[in-house]
Amino acid sequence: MRIAIHPDDYTNPKTGKPDASSPLWAELLEKAGHKVKWVNVYRADILDQLKGCDGFMWRWAHFGGMGQIARRLLPVIENELGLEVYPDQATCWHYDDKIAQYYLLTAAGIPMPKTWVWSDKEQANKWLNEAPFPLVIKLWTGASSENVRLVRDHDEAKLWVDRLFGPGVGHLNETALIPPPCIYKRLRTAARVIFKGKYPLRPWELHKNYIYSQEFLPANDFDTRITVIRNRAFGFRRFNRPEDFRASGSGNIDYDVSKVDPECVRLGFRIARRLGTQSVACDFLQLNQKPVVTEISYTYASWAIYDCPGYWELEGEDLVWKAGHMWPEEAQIEDFLARLEKRQQSKRN
């Protein structure tokens, strides 16, 4: 079979830890006797590039404009061209969209912290009069605790409501409440781009006409990340930043699996099976000594999964531990080829 792959490499140069899926995917596919075709989703002829292929793989991320391509292209490849796709729509349509995840997980009956999404300023302000402070507000996009903020009282929340339902914000830092920069600052930024080639580190995206908030869950010094790839669950704990309530992106990881709550593992399996995902990473906090999920993501740092000392498999109702390091790409390719073979067998029949 011929598998098309768009290359990726998200290795952080500061750490040097490998975080590129496509090279390992290609190596594993070729070892299994299949052909790899490298393609480029940024080209106008991407659909022509996929002719003669049986599958397509692209580990797209939440930056660099990849989302606007993936959300338009991947459904066509999966549903109209009929190729086996990783990630498929069940796996990634809600990626990096906290509002979509809230609706999805709530409809699926998955326990979450109490969450409120308001799209009307009058309703949002009315709710603030009875809101349980402190509470957490988030923008719908952002990773590693970006765009997540603890709001302590009504007056502070009112400032964010006025800004989000007014000129909008690009982030949830304190400076988001400062009036937009004057035209001279905008011209100065443009000049730096034109004459010095210095671009902003991140594209600025305007968020407005909504506010997303969750109840604050105190006494959570860490969260638990469970990553499920079909019938394998990898788990570890992530401790909060110093004097902060956020754990995602802290880099303070504990791989002692004896400290991982088995109920988080079971709930991770439940989420994966209920949503029908090829891959899902779930972030859990504790509420009344029971796990609740705050966010999910189809993709993650590969090295963090490999550093796990093993994984759990679910056999009936039992969690069975399998010791040994495993790259997530190994599991992804194993499952991808099984799905491809099943598809080919169905065509033969």
Give the strand pairing for 2-5 and 55-57: parallel
**What is the predicted pLDDT for the residue at 15?**
84
* CA dihedral (111, 112, 113, 119) positive or negative: negative
- Alpha-carbon distance of 310 to 297, in angstroms, equals 20
Q: How close are the terminal C-alpha atoms of the chain, in Å?
A: 18
| CA dist., res. 229 & res. 279, Å (int) | 5
Phi, psi (degrees; rounded to nearest 5) at 136? -105, 130
Report residues of the chain scoring pLDDT below 70.
Answer: 143-145, 174-176, 178-204, 242-250
> What is the pLDDT at residue 88?
98
Which domains, and CATH codes, for the chain? Answer: 2-94+331-348 (3.40.50), 114-215 (3.30.1490.20), 219-328 (3.30.470.20)
Of 162, 160, 161, 157, whose CA–CA distance to 133 is shortest?
157
Q: Which residues of 63-85 are buried (b: 16+ CB within 10 A; e: fewer)?
A: eeebbebbeebbeebbeeeebbb
- For residue 248, what pLDDT is reported? 65
Interhelix angle 121-128/154-164, nearest 10 degrees:
170
Q: How much is the pLDDT for 29?
A: 98
Contact between 286 and 122 under an 8 Å Cβ cutoff? The reply is no
pLDDT tens readout for residues 152-209: 999 999 999 999 999 999 888 766 676 655 444 555 555 555 565 544 434 457 899 9
Q: Where are the alpha helices (DSSP H) in 46-134?
A: 46-49, 66-79, 89-92, 98-107, 121-128
What is the β-pairing status of strands 84-86 and 310-315?
unpaired
- Closest to 164 in 3D by CA, of 215, 216, 212, 209: 209
CA 96, 102, 105, 106: dihedral to nearest 10 degrees? -170
Angle between helix axes 22-31 and 328-348 (nearest 10 degrees) is 50
Q: Tokens in use for 277? A: 């995902």
- Residue 205, pLDDT score: 79
289, burial (CB in 10 Å: exposed 0-12, middle 13-18, buried 19+): exposed
pLDDT of residue 203: 45
For residue 200, the model assigns a pLDDT of: 45
pLDDT value, residue 185: 52
Query: What confidence score (pLDDT) does residue 192 get?
Result: 57
| DSSP single-letter state for residue 257 | G
